[in-house]
């Protein structure tokens, strides 16, 4: 058991090429599952999709078990936002035959795992200059993406019949985006008290996430790099000294063409 735990730990947290390839493989798997969950959200359940959902649920459960096995603090691991999201996803997949398919849209919560895993962020910061330059915008975009599709699921459940299918799902997405942007065309409305409260929630939280994304896109970009002297972790991409304490910095840059 100790050897197995050590092997898994090296894959999830190690710095070897094999470990990085494994983690990037997980990224590809996560991205493919998210695309699949969105594409099949409003489709009727068939024996094929049920079998595929069960298989995906078992794979995600295996990933969860591996993370629990190597965790030094199981309670803290359970409280991580992407761990809770994965638990919801696994339950929605493995218990699909026993629950309404309307809640299948909650599987898009898998998107939180895609970008909020600590080791993934560390790999991207180390190996991708583009990610380091635009990290805030990328994270804000993923948060907004997940919020839109999760709230769309609640709108669909509350305002549309189970047989509404793809058309109902598109209408729910349309209402969510229109409400989030405060456009308010009025052609689709929520008439129940619960629906009105959900609309208020979409406006308050959604606008905040949208503003956060806009700010991350248009504000001067800074790179995350910890100053060894004072700990300041945000600097201009071309900074050679820490603005706070003057300590020399060694921030990786692309360099000038022909240099």
Task: Show me where the domains of the chain are located.
Answer: 1-117, 128-221, 222-254
* Res 62: pLDDT: 93
Q: What is the mean pLDDT of each run of 10 residues along the chain (259 residues)?
A: 85 84 84 81 78 90 90 84 84 73 65 64 73 80 84 81 77 90 82 87 90 81 72 68 75 50
DSSP assignment of 4-62: HHHHHHHHHH--SHHHHHHHHHHHHHHHHHHHHHHHTTTSPP-HHHHHHHHHHHHHHHH
* Rounded-to-integer distance, Cα 16 and Cα 201, Å: 44
Q: Reduced to 3 DSSP states, what percent helix, strand and coil does the chain have, rounded to the nearest 5?
A: 70, 0, 25
CA nearest 137: which of 27, 219, 252, 71?
219
Which residues face 235 on adjacent strands? 223
* Res 258: pLDDT: 41
CA nearest 64: which of 76, 78, 52?
78
CA nearest 125: which of 133, 117, 113?
133
Output the pTM of the full model: 0.68
* Res 185: pLDDT: 80
* Rounded-to-integer distance, Cα 75 and Cα 162, Å: 37
Task: Say whether 241 sits in a helix, a strand or coil.
Answer: strand
* Res 174: pLDDT: 92
Out of 1.10.287.70, 3.90.1640.10, 3.40.50.10260, 1.25.40.10, select the CATH number for domain 128-221: 1.10.287.70
* Res 98: pLDDT: 66
């Amino acid at each position: 058991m100790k050897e197995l735990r050590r092997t898994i730990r090296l894959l999830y947290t190690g710095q070897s090429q094999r470990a990085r390839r494994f983690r990037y493989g997980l990224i590809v798997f996560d991205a493919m599952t998210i695309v699949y969950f969105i594409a099949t959200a409003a489709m009727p359940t068939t024996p094929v999709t049920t079998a595929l959902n069960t298989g995906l649920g078992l794979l995600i459960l295996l990933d969860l078990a591996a993370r629990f096995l190597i965790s030094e603090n199981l309670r803290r691991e359970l409280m991580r936002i992407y761990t809770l999201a994965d638990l919801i996803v696994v339950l929605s997949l493995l218990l699909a035959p026993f629950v309404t398919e309307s809640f299948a849209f909650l599987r898009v919560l898998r998107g939180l795992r895609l970008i909020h895993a600590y080791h993934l962020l560390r790999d991207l910061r180390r190996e991708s200059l583009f990610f380091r330059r635009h990290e805030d915008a990328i994270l804000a975009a993923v948060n907004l993406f997940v919020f839109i599709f999760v709230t769309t699921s609640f709108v669909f459940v509350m305002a549309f019949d189970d047989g509404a299918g793809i058309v109902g799902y598109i209408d729910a997405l349309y209402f969510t985006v229109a409400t989030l942007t405060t456009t308010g065309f009025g052609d689709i409305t929520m008439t129940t008290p619960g629906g009105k409260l959900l609309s208020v929630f979409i406006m308050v939280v959604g606008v905040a996430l949208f503003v956060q994304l806009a700010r991350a896109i248009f504000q001067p970009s800074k790179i995350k790099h910890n100053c060894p002297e004072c700990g300041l972790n945000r600097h201009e991409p071309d900074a050679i000294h820490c603005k706070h304490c003057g300590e020399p910095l060694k921030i990786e840059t692309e360099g000038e063409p022909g240099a």
